């Protein structure tokens, strides 16, 4: 029998009403929402009843997603499922960090709130958008990006899919070049050009916030977006770089598989990460937990794998 890993999604997974069913189904999940509301009043209300537009604002997206993801993880642990490893995509890395015991909920939540505010400020100063490029290999996407001013490969998601961030003035021409090369550029519902040089100022401002945070060593292997490998030593430097560095998601999953993980649970809204994992290795077992029904299914099947 292999190991179970919890994986936590990033921005773009949010949707109105997320987390409400979990809070009603799980006392542990409901307790997480209460903790979030004590630190940032109105967080539950935004998750349960906020508009799509409000949830897309980075300063709201990050604390709301973090809360729903930690609520889902709490519901899983409440029912006896413990991960052997953890990783998160972009924002999700802070949720993974907290789930892995490197930060308590209050510390993780406050980091996410500050990170979200800094990234939104950087996005407003440096207008940019993101798109997922499909049907082209990584090298081709890198070559296409190099032809345009202010367009960067930022998320290496799986074979045949790389997300890019770029200046608005360049993205239309870039998308046309992708189409001419046989690929397709799909706009992403995020509020800025993340994991690119557009975020360098946010990373610099986040560094002292991390330096002051009481972080501990994770209790289970925790994989870094920057390296694709488990953290070894203080995570602060890599978490700072993560804001303006590409996410090496495919590398993370391949290293997890090599370490003995064969079951992945996407903890929180959406099913994007599960789809990417299946494309990286279709023999991996993949579950998602975002509501009462998926929680029950994951526990019933995941604990008997």
Which residue ranges make up each domain of the chain? 3-124+196-302, 128-187
In the chain, which stretches have pLDDT less than 50? 305
Sequence-distant (6+) residues with CB within 8 A of 11 are 58, 61, 62, 65, 90, 91, 190, 191, 194
Which residues are part of the catalytic machinery? 90, 195
CATH architecture of 3-124+196-302: 3-Layer(aba) Sandwich (3.40)
Asked if 280 and 158 touch (Cβ cutoff 8 Å), the reply is: yes
pLDDT of residue 130: 94
Sequence-distant (6+) residues with CB within 8 A of 291 are 21, 22, 25
pLDDT of residue 2: 80
Q: What is the CATH number of domain 128-187?
A: 3.30.70.250
pLDDT of residue 175: 96
- Judge whether 3-124+196-302 and 128-187 match in fold: no
pLDDT of residue 303: 65
pLDDT of residue 168: 85
Strands of the 285-289 sheet, one edge to the other: 85-88, 3-8, 261-267, 285-289
At 276, is the secondary structure helix, strand, or coil?
A: helix
The DSSP-derived string for 136-168 is S-HHHHHHHHHTSTTEEEEEEEETTEEEEEEEH
Which residue do the tokens 């919890």 mark?
A: 6
Token pair, residue 110, equals 């406050």
> Whole-model pTM?
0.94
Give the number of other Cβ atoms within 10 Å of residue 97's Cβ.
26
């Amino acid at each position: 029998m292999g190991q179970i890993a919890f994986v936590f999604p990033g921005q773009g997974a949010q949707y109105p009403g997320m987390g409400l069913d979990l809070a009603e189904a799980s006392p542990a999940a409901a307790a997480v929402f209460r903790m979030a509301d004590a630190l940032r009043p109105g967080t539950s209300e935004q998750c349960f009843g906020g508009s799509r537009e409000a949830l897309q604002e980075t300063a709201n997206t990050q604390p709301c997603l973090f809360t729903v993801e930690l609520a889902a993880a709490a519901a899983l642990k409440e029912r006896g499922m413990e991960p052997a490893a953890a990783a998160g995509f972009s924002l999700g890395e802070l949720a993974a960090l907290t789930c892995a015991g490197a930060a308590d909920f209050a510390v993780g939540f406050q980091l996410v709130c500050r990170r979200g505010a800094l990234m939104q400020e950087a996005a407003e100063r440096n207008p940019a958008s993101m798109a997922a490029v499909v049907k082209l290999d990584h090298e081709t996407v890198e070559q296409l990006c190099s032809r345009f001013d202010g367009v960067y490969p930022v998320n290496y998601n799986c074979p045949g899919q790389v997300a890019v961030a770029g200046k608005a003035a360049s993205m239309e021409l870039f998308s046309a070049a992708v189409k001419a090369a046989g690929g397709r550029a799909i706009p992403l519902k995020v509020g800025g050009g993340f994991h690119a040089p557009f975020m360098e100022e946010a990373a610099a401002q986040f560094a002292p916030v991390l330096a002051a945070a009481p972080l501990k060593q994770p209790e289970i292997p925790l994989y870094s977006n920057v390296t694709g490998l488990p953290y070894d030593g203080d995570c602060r430097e890599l978490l700072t770089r993560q804001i303006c560095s590409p996410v090496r998601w495919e590398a993370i999953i391949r290293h997890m598989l090599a370490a003995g993980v064969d079951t992945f649970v996407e903890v929180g809204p959406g099913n994007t990460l599960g789809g990417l994992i299946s494309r990286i290795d279709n023999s991996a077992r993949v579950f998602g937990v975002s509501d009462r029904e998926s929680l029950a299914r994951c526990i019933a099947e995941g604990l008997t794998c």
